[in-house]
Structure 1
């Protein structure tokens, strides 16, 4: 959550902004670490700026391994995509900065039914942002990302699956005929939670396999599907 900061919080933590983003993680390993510290912990994400978020310790090792002294491995990420971010700088007008596993509706109910605005539109500049993930282009692999609508196929499907450097990714295992080694899916049954859990892990893997063009199906745009589509649109931005 993003709140107005106190004077005791140094500007280096907030990039000079008058607000600060606070996270209260629920992972038992990280909560154990925080309990051992006698000071607040300020840290960036465990990936190069703008690149796909890591969901495994091996992802961190492959991108930052030579630049950091240690990696705390708590196992695979439980949910697969980043947390929801809510702007509480004005408590009377809360807003969503980033869609995530906790839906806008659930947050509204938790806040007594108050309306919550959607401020997730991307920003093209590289100035300091009040919260992570607000830039138009973000979560991007080395490969170029192209998107196609939910429950459809890319128009070049047969051509894509025969190109050595192109891959297509569906939400669920395709029902049509035999698939090629360039066809991938994020779930067996299309459940959005499973798609979210596997999304970044698969994109990381395809990048490591040196695919240059990724054609990825959008999710149904509701619930956690909004968060999935937010990440995909930013990954595909030019």
Structure 2
């Protein structure tokens, strides 16, 4: 069977994608997924999901796909390039809907209606594939494996977003104020005073900027 090329959303001028190594700081799958784009709205914006295969790379990295599932879907995508490209577009739309919703929650405003519409559309597709399996301690959610489905990585993400929005954790969503960042996360600390996505990254950079500003003001004085 002839293989169809899978369109990429990348250019040679962009740095390599970090889809397989991005920090999973969101506290829940849907917020980790929202953070697969860095520096939105800034000159340092970077898209990490530039192809369907990179979506699979991230999904395995985030624990949403087993290695064998990723391999199977990659092989299927190589045969169905146009379909894989459509799923990638859906994935990016879902991600931006989750991000817009989380950003609104972080600023205690109402999420956009169009974002919730996209979330509900993907949730409906995902839950039509949901199953229950027995475990030693009871039962657990699972997914249909009747046949490989290119949108399989989106199912746990959509359900994760639904669980976030319908539970008390949605009140703990925050957005990192770091320059060129904007990542979203759950503040699960006891005192709910977490500010940065990662203290070692954005927090440290902010300290350095404040120090340099104090030095500049002192020198000017």
TM range (shorter): under 0.3
- The TM-score, its normalising length taken from structure 1, stands at 0.25
| Structure showing greater relative contact order (alpha-carbon pairs closer than 8 Å, 6 or more residues apart) | 2
- The TM-score, its normalising length taken from structure 2, stands at 0.26
Bigger share in helix: 2
